[in-house]
Amino acid sequence: MTVRLLVSPFDPGAETNRFLAASEGAGAAVTFTGLVRRTSDDPVTALTLECYEALAQAQLERLRDAAIARFSLIAAEILHRHGRMLPGEPIVQVMTLAPHRGDAFAGAEFIMDTLKTDAPFWKKEETGDGARWVEAKGEDDARRARWD
Amino acid sequence: MKILYFAWLRERLDRAEEEIELPPGVTTVGELIAHLRTRDEVTDAAFERPHLIRAALDTELVEHDAPLGSARTLALFPPMTGG
């Protein structure tokens, strides 16, 4: 399965090593891992991602296929968690494999920028003051639009 | 038709899904949202900014002018915030 929706935490290093083990001589692999953020300005104690699983699986598979076609990738994988997670835990991992680094980087960035606005996940942050839905950022739409 | 709701839309409507009988004249996603808003104040308020609401018919993201056609499931939800 090259697109996986997960509830449990995953091991980013183990996933990367498994992906690299099947690289078959390709010259460039990129791994991006998105983590639950916690800063002093934004003291998140936990993050819950709601997910529409049937649509998420379909959207992420389309996105993976589009990235492979557009950047001539040899392989691409997407892992995305949903449910409740804690600061520092991985949320998402995107891995791309290409003959050269330019396409591997671009493919991973394209997948992440598009996934943010086009895959059905919704973040709810818990802080000491209660829980709140994260609002979509205009900046994310702008990053998505760069690929149109 | 089955309607699914997610995130704050689900919370504001206090339901994750419902079955509805499409009334005559309701043929698009936008028309269905307008119809739902006539039911009660809570529903009307939940959809008060309809341009924010995204839609999917079965497993395809669609715009509000999309025909409902023969889709079995409509999902309605706020802008997505994954990744």
Q: What is the ipTM of this complex?
A: 0.95
Tell me whether B42 touches chain A (CB under 8 Å). Answer: no
8 A C-beta contact, residue A59 and residue A10? no
Choose the closest CB to A52 out of B4, B60, B79: B4
Residue A30 near residue A95 (C-beta atoms within 8 A): yes
Report the distance separating Cα A84 and Cα A98, nearest Å. 33
Number of CB atoms found within 10 A of residue B69's CB? 10
- Please tell me the distance from the alpha carbon of residue A64 to that of residue A57, in angstroms, as a whole number: 11
Domains of chain A: 3-145 (3.90.1170.40)
> What pLDDT tens digit does each residue of chain A (148 aa) get?
799 999 999 999 999 999 999 988 899 999 999 999 988 888 899 999 999 999 999 999 999 999 999 999 999 999 999 999 999 999 999 999 999 999 999 999 999 999 999 999 999 999 989 999 999 988 999 999 999 9
What is the DSSP pairing of strand B17-19 with strand B54-57? unpaired
Q: Does B12 touch chain A (CB under 8 A)?
A: no
Q: Is there a contact between B6 and A122 if contact means CB atoms under 8 Å apart?
A: yes
Domains of chain B: 2-71 (3.10.20)
- A40 Cβ contact list (under 8 Å, min separation 6): none
Which one of B59, B61, B80 has the shortest CB-CB distance to A121? Answer: B80
Residues ≥6 apart with Cβ < 8 Å to A126: A44, A45, A46, A47, A48
The verdict on a CB contact (< 8 Å) between B59 and A92 is: no
Main-chain dihedrals φ then ψ at residue B53, nearest 5 degrees: -85, 125
